[in-house]
Amino acid sequence: MDYVYGPGRNHLFVPGPVNIPESVLRAMNRNNEDYRSPAVPAMTKTLLEDVKKIFKTTTGTPFLIPTTGTGAWESALTNTLSPGDRVISFLIGQFSLLWIDQQQRLGFNVDVIESDWGQGANLDIMASKLAADTQHSIKAICIVHNETATGVTNNLAKVRRILDDYRHPALLLVDGVSSICALDFRMDEWGVDVALTGSQKALSLPTGIGMVCASPKALEASKTAKSYRVFFDWKDYLKFYKMGTYWPYTPSIQLLYGLREALDLIFEEGLDNVIARHTRLATATRLAVEAWGLKNCTQKEEWFSDTVTAVLVPSYIDSSEIVRRAWKRYNLSLGLGLNKVAGKVFRIGHLGNLNELQLLGCLSGVEMVLKDVGYPVKLGSGVGAAAAYLQNSTPLIQSRI
């Protein structure tokens, strides 16, 4: 934004990367340190303990890898599987598509279950495949918890129930990049074997930490997995964990301090309160969309995402023009439609460290843009619907009671 100046703040409402709190920016504004000194391992130890809390696990082992969500994907796969292993993976949008592409390029035998974009994972087909797999040739179920391209959230508890019903030993690998710390996620309770997220989403940090958490079952699988891995090898991390130095290579000192502050903010608000806030903001956004007379890309309420809303536009409007106009005229950043829904949807991200008034500012900007591109929206309709809901549902700020 420094190269294309606009007055005031940029209103960042893409579904990641998200707004970074001022206190996190200040925490990261520091010089480099020797990561082999006693201070950094001591901080890392507490970070690893606290990261387990956002995954809601007491038995998992977390890894803080200097990478993006894509690297976290690769770490989850290569540490638990061998080339040629059969895995079930669900294609429901752009990011599940990209993970499937990675799985195939890594040499796994990927059994793809595809749904229309806007629908959730077809768990009935998964159940039939598990029922037929009496030899247990399926080694893993790979599922994106929250598909940001279409605003679809999958039911992980149901996935676990189906696996248990058929007494199937397949690993459950979950992409929680845009869900963990924003949506209800219970690693231990749902029997998730590997969960992963990225620092630039609900944690409200810069991109750069891929967080992977492995169950005891996944760690055991890593001992026999034959996929090549070097940078992402859990074994190297575990070796340094035992030594008490924690890092097999140089971490980003600044991001670690940022993570410390980001976790402190989440715990101060309360993780369950953070999740409730995301539900509240998402509900307000959907009420605004309904008031505008537009439709949600997500086809059923059970799949609605509380971190992003993908909005379908009429056929005579190119949704990409909405995104361009929002940025050029109102300094508002919205998410483009991707791949199959390019030009058909724009996306409103409502995740991370943001509040009700920030969201209402975004929704007012969207209304003006819709008017600009020729959609007959009544100015104030969506904002009014969202504000009425938020005025009745927003609690007092806990720290100010």
pLDDT grade for 210, boundaries at 50, 70 and 90: very high
Taking residues 127-151, report their average pLDDT: 98
30 annotated among ligand-binding-site residues: no
Please tell me the total count of domains within the chain. Answer: 2
Which of 112, 111, 182 is closest to 146 using CA atoms? Answer: 182
Verify that 227 and 121 share a domain, yes or no.
yes
Beta bridge partners of 211: 64, 197
The whole-number pLDDT of residue 3 equals 73
CA 350/CA 235 separation, integer angstroms:
37
Q: Residue 278: inside a domain, yes or no?
A: yes
- List the Cα angle 197/64/180 in 5-degree steps: 20
Verify that 259 and 302 share a domain, yes or no.
no
User: What is the value of pTM for the model shown?
Assistant: 0.97
The whole-number pLDDT of residue 4 equals 84
CA 114/CA 328 separation, integer angstroms:
37
Domain boundary among 247, 267, 287: 267
Q: How many CA atoms lie within 13 A of 401 on its CB side?
A: 5
The whole-number pLDDT of residue 1 equals 56
pLDDT grade for 2, boundaries at 50, 70 and 90: low
Per-residue pLDDT of 367-376, as tens digits, reads 999 999 999 9
Q: Residue 228: inside a domain, yes or no?
A: yes
Verify that 200 and 333 share a domain, yes or no.
no
Verify that 250 and 136 share a domain, yes or no.
yes
Per-residue pLDDT of 241-285, as tens digits, reads 999 999 999 999 999 999 999 999 999 999 999 999 999 999 999
The whole-number pLDDT of residue 399 equals 87
CB 212 within 8 A of CB 75: yes
Length of the chain measured in residues? 401
Q: Residue 3: inside a domain, yes or no?
A: no
Domain boundary among 267, 300, 333: 267
Residue 188's CATH number: 3.40.640.10
- The dihedral through the CA atoms of 2, 67, 353, 313 has a sign that is positive
pLDDT grade for 5, boundaries at 50, 70 and 90: confident
Taking residues 46-68, report their average pLDDT: 98
β-pairing, 152-153 vs 61-65, is unpaired
Verify that 329 and 387 share a domain, yes or no.
yes
CA 227/CA 105 separation, integer angstroms:
12
CA 176/CA 161 separation, integer angstroms:
19
CA 353/CA 370 separation, integer angstroms:
26
Which of 66, 65, 79, 75 is closest to 99 using CA atoms? Answer: 75
More confident residue, 401 or 231: 231
Is residue 218 classed as helix, strand or coil in its secondary structure? helix
β-pairing, 109-114 vs 86-91, is parallel
Verify that 299 and 168 share a domain, yes or no.
no
> With pLDDT > 90 as the criterion, what percentage of the chain qualifies?
97
Verify that 212 and 277 share a domain, yes or no.
no
Taking residues 164-176, report their average pLDDT: 98
CA 55/CA 79 separation, integer angstroms:
19
Verify that 388 and 309 share a domain, yes or no.
yes
Per-residue pLDDT of 24-39, as tens digits, reads 999 999 999 999 999 9
Q: Residue 312: inside a domain, yes or no?
A: yes
Residue 355's CATH number: 3.90.1150.10
C-alpha distances in angstroms, 321 versus 22, 296, 329, 369, 391?
Answer: 31, 18, 12, 9, 32
DSSP 15-41: SSS----HHHHHHH------TTSSHHH
Per-residue pLDDT of 282-326, as tens digits, reads 999 999 999 999 999 999 999 999 999 999 999 999 999 999 999
Which of 200, 95, 201 is closest to 150 using CA atoms? Answer: 95
CB 27 within 8 A of CB 257: yes
Domain boundary among 243, 267, 291: 267
Which of 165, 217, 281, 209 is closest to 60 using CA atoms? Answer: 217
Q: Residue 81: inside a domain, yes or no?
A: yes
C-alpha distances in angstroms, 123 versus 89, 126, 240, 261?
Answer: 11, 5, 39, 38
Q: The domain containing residue 218 runs over which residues?
A: 22-267
Q: Residue 1: inside a domain, yes or no?
A: no
Verify that 317 and 252 share a domain, yes or no.
no
Verify that 46 and 34 share a domain, yes or no.
yes
What lies within 8 Å, CB to CB, of 90 at 6+ separation is 96, 112, 113, 114, 115, 121, 122, 126, 142, 143, 144, 154
Q: Residue 121: inside a domain, yes or no?
A: yes
Q: Residue 292: inside a domain, yes or no?
A: yes
CB 251 within 8 A of CB 43: no
Verify that 322 and 206 share a domain, yes or no.
no
Verify that 254 and 283 share a domain, yes or no.
no
